[in-house]
């Protein structure tokens, strides 16, 4: 919002002001919120003292929504309306979901992201996730007793573009200002690294409820550098439950269960799995809807054997990540276990065997991601003094490319490239007189477009007809620090340009987000309007002050015309700031903001050059 007010990059605008921020671990099974209080990271519990919020949302016929434990109680009795493990559906279509036949939900058959039919209407995974985020954010607001500035929200490192975009949209829908999407293993590394001031090369093995990540990081003097990452965004503790569930069906000679029984047996399978982490055998007992009893005993060894292939998949991904980092297991100085599913003894044993060392578990594997996210949020908010901070260099997990002739993929950005990253490539036309070009953006490692995930299609149109091969179409991929992609295409002989922020295939449009936000806030709320007006007045005053300072400090960075426009818009804003009307005030604010955007960018650019060269501004301009 405000123009550059800082003397040097890295210093927050107002160092004395502590900004309230949180870290949120939006998990498949459980979600958590953490913050820094009195200099220490802590997970914020609910009023009953429970730190974990089950990631379960129940839609009721009366329009009310239950989240967490209250929803969990109805998991078996109301399975269609009680949405569990929604994270597995983020940015995914129905055909992407494994074992869909064993899920008790009523999926809507529609193109794009899957939807669920509930008693309260059709819901998409973004809306469901937003309910979970909202509860956690409110919990934090109540505990901290103030207005939160924003949150760091964690995502699996192996999440692709569509899944990241969906997570970001869920946060927007919950009214949360996202400071950063942070990869879960990186968050865990921050928590461990700062806890032990470790140096060297570490592996973070993160097996959650529905996702698996492996990240290899190099820690040196306050820098966390991700060397490579790998994983499977559809592999987690749920799959171990499902294997046990299938075993129970076979043993009890059952098939085609009603949704209530599917939910019940899945819950019992999960309970048995958890018991097997500390016992050599467990009993799986359930009374089905028809009155029939299931009564089975499972030994830990048998469970380990029937899920060995799942563990093997994680080890394969781990080996590949090591290869990508050009390292061997013996090069790793420490292995950190993250995620509730790493409590399974046979998982721990397999990881220990691969690396030839016992993994670290000193921070609770359920909490470590949220704690790391809170630490990063605190850093991003500028709550730490310069010098007492750290730097995260993360990577993109999957390659990004374009479809070329013959359904082949031309990769522009390779997996494990450090972000942010900008890459451009030139393409040309293959027909005489061609005036448009279709651009198809894909993500994945395979060479055929059909084996990769389609992210977006758009067309660059209206460039002049030229002979085949004469047009120069420059396509630029830009991946920001959140790992989100924006694509621009430009024909250089004519200057025709097209831009997409990649989200159409599986995401929500801006209009949809706006509509859903409107719905969730309800109609005209006078308190809220009053508050919005006050916020705009404060923002307006802040912007005016910042522009005045900037104009005095760097007048040479503006042309005469630019300065005239800015001054006219400042007067317009000053005129409206004392009024009662929010709408024209907001417009004036936005107009001034737009007029100073480029100026702010130039000042930022200058300040960075100064910082890098160690010179003062007056020396540079000479």
Partner 1 sequence: MPIQDDHFSLFGLPARFAVDPRALEEAYKRVQARIHPDRFAAASAAERRVAMQWAARANEAFQTLRSPLRRAAYLCELSGTRIDAESNTAMPAAFLAQQMRWREDLDEARASTDKAQLQPLMEETGALRATTLKHLEATLDEARDFRTAAALVRQLMFIEKFGDELAALAETTAAGAG
Range 225-244, binding partner 1 (CB under 8 A): 225
Say if CB 415 and CB 396 are below 8 A apart: yes
Least separation, in Å, of the C-beta of 55 and partner 1?
A: 26
**Which CB, 300 or 589, lies closer to partner 1?**
589
How many residues line the site for partner 1 (CB under 8 A)?
A: 49
Beta bridge partners of 82: 58
Binding segment for partner 1 among 105-113, 190-198, 385-393, 520-528 (CB under 8 A)?
Answer: 385-393
Euclidean distance between CA atoms 56 and 461, whole angstroms: 45
User: Catalytic site residue 556?
Assistant: no
Among 161, 206, 366, 482, the active-site one is: 206
* Binding status of residue 13 toward partner 1 by CB under 8 A: yes
* Binding status of residue 267 toward partner 1 by CB under 8 A: no
* Binding status of residue 613 toward partner 1 by CB under 8 A: yes
Binding segment for partner 1 among 9-17, 65-73, 435-443, 464-472 (CB under 8 A)?
Answer: 9-17
User: Catalytic site residue 184?
Assistant: yes
Give 125's Cβ-side CA count (13 Å radius). Answer: 28
Least separation, in Å, of the C-beta of 611 and partner 1?
A: 5
Range 386-415, binding partner 1 (CB under 8 A): 391-393
Least separation, in Å, of the C-beta of 6 and partner 1?
A: 8
Euclidean distance between CA atoms 246 and 101, whole angstroms: 12
* Binding status of residue 420 toward partner 1 by CB under 8 A: yes
Other Cβ atoms less than 10 A from the Cβ of 153: the count is 31
Structure tokens at 121: 């209407």
Instruction: Out of 379, 412, 577, 582, name the contact with partner 1 by CB under 8 A.
Output: 379
Structure tokens at 391: 């730097």
Binding segment for partner 1 among 196-204, 207-215, 565-573, 590-598 (CB under 8 A)?
Answer: 590-598
| Residue listed under structure tokens 């089975």 | 296
| Secondary structure class of 467 (helix, strand, coil) | coil
* Binding status of residue 189 toward partner 1 by CB under 8 A: no
**Which CB, 41 or 483, lies closer to partner 1?**
483
Among 184, 232, 238, 394, the active-site one is: 184
Structure tokens at 99: 């074992």
Per 3-state DSSP, the chain is made up of helix, strand and coil in percentages (nearest 5) of: 40, 25, 35
Residues 6+ apart with CB under 8 A from 523: none
Question: Torsions phi, psi of 338, nearest 5?
Answer: -130, 150
* Binding status of residue 197 toward partner 1 by CB under 8 A: no
Beta bridge partners of 121: 118
What crossing angle do the helices spanning 184-196 and 368-380 adopt, rounded to 10°? 80
Among 25, 127, 169, 232, the active-site one is: 25
The string of DSSP letters for 433-444 reads: TEEEEEEEEEES
**Which CB, 17 or 301, lies closer to partner 1?**
17
The string of DSSP letters for 96-164 reads: GSTTGGG----EE--SSS-EEEETTEEE-HHHHHHHHHHHHHHHHHHHHTS---EEEEEE-TT--HHHH
Beta bridge partners of 404: 408
**Which CB, 264 or 354, lies closer to partner 1?**
354
Range 154-183, binding partner 1 (CB under 8 A): 179-180
Among 66, 87, 394, 491, the active-site one is: 87
Euclidean distance between CA atoms 265 and 270, whole angstroms: 9
Range 87-116, binding partner 1 (CB under 8 A): none
* Binding status of residue 535 toward partner 1 by CB under 8 A: no
Q: What's the Rg (C-alpha) of the chain?
A: 26
Instruction: Out of 7, 9, 77, 364, name the contact with partner 1 by CB under 8 A.
Output: 9
Instruction: Out of 380, 398, 412, 498, name the contact with partner 1 by CB under 8 A.
Output: 380
Task: Just list the catalytic residues.
Answer: 25, 87, 184, 206
Which residues contribute to the site for partner 1 (CB under 8 A)?
Answer: 1-4, 9-10, 12-13, 19, 149, 179-180, 220, 223, 225, 323, 376, 379-382, 391-393, 417-422, 478, 480-481, 593, 596-598, 600-601, 604-606, 608-609, 611-613, 620-621
């Amino acid at each position: 919002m405000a123009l550059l007010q800082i003397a040097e990059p890295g210093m927050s605008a107002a160092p004395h002001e502590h900004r309230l921020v949180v870290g949120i671990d939006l998990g498949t099974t459980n979600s958590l919120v953490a913050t820094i209080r009195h200099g220490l990271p802590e997970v914020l519990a609910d009023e009953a003292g429970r730190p974990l919020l089950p990631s379960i949302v129940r839609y009721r016929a009366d329009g009310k929504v239950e989240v967490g434990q209250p929803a969990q109680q109805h998991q078996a009795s109301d399975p269609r309306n009680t949405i569990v493990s929604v994270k597995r559906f983020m940015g995914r279509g129905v055909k992407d979901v494994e074992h869909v036949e064993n899920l008790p939900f009523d999926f809507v058959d529609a193109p794009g992201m899957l939807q669920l039919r509930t008693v309260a209407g059709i819901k998409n995974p973004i809306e469901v996730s937003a309910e979970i985020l909202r509860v956690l954010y409110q919990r934090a607001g109540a505990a901290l007793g103030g207005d939160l500035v924003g949150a760091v929200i964690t995502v699996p490192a192996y999440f692709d573009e569509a899944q990241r975009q969906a997570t970001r949209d869920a946060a927007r829908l919950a009214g949360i200002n996202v400071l950063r999407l942070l990869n879960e293993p990186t968050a865990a590394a921050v928590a461990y690294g700062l806890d032990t001031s470790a140096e060297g090369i570490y592996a973070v093995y993160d097996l959650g409820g529905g996702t698996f990540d492996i990240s290899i990081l190099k820690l040196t003097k306050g820098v966390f550098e991700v060397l490579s990452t790998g994983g499977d965004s559809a592999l987690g503790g749920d799959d171990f439950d499902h294997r046990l569930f299938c075993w129970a069906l076979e043993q009890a000679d059952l098939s085609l269960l009603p949704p209530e029984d599917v939910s019940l047996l899945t819950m019992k399978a999960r309970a048995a799995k958890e018991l097997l982490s500390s016992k050599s055998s467990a009993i799986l007992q359930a009374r089905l809807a028809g009155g029939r009893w299931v009564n089975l005993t499972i030994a830990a060894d048998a469970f380990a054997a029937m899920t060995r292939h799942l563990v093997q998949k994680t080890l394969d991904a781990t080996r590949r990540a090591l290869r990508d980092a050009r390292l061997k297991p013996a090069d790793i100085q420490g292995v950190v276990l993250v995620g509730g599913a790493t409590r399974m003894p046979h998982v721990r044993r397999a990881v220990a065997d691969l690396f030839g060392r016992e993994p670290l578990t000193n921070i609770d594997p359920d909490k470590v991601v949220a704690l790391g996210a809170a630490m990063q949020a605190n850093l991003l908010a500028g709550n730490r003094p310069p010098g007492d901070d750290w730097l995260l260099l993360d990577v993109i997990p999957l390659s990004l490319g374009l479809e070329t002739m013959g359904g082949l993929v031309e990769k522009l950005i390779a997996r494990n490239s450090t972000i942010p990253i900008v890459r451009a490539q030139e393409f040309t036309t293959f027909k005489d007189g061609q005036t448009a070009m279709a651009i198809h953006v894909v993500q994945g490692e395979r060479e055929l477009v059909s084996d990769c995930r389609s992210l977006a299609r758009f067309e660059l149109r209206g460039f002049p007809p030229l002979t085949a091969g004469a047009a120069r179409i420059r396509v630029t991929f830009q991946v920001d620090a959140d790992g989100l992609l924006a694509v621009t295409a430009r024909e250089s002989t004519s200057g025709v340009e097209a831009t997409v922020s990649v989200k159409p295939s599986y995401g929500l449009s801006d209009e949809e987000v706006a509509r859903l936000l409107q719905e969730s806030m309800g109609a005209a709320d006078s308190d809220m309007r009053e508050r919005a007006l006050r916020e705009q007045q404060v923002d307006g005053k802040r912007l005016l002050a910042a522009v005045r300072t900037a104009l005095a400090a760097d007048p040479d960075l503006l042309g005469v015309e630019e300065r005239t426009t800015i001054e006219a818009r400042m007067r317009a804003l000053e005129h409206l700031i004392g009024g009662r009307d929010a709408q024209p005030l907001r417009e004036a604010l936005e107009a001034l903001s737009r007029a100073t955007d480029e100026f702010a960018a130039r000042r930022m650019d200058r300040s960075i050059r100064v910082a890098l060269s160690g010179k003062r501004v007056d020396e540079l301009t000479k």
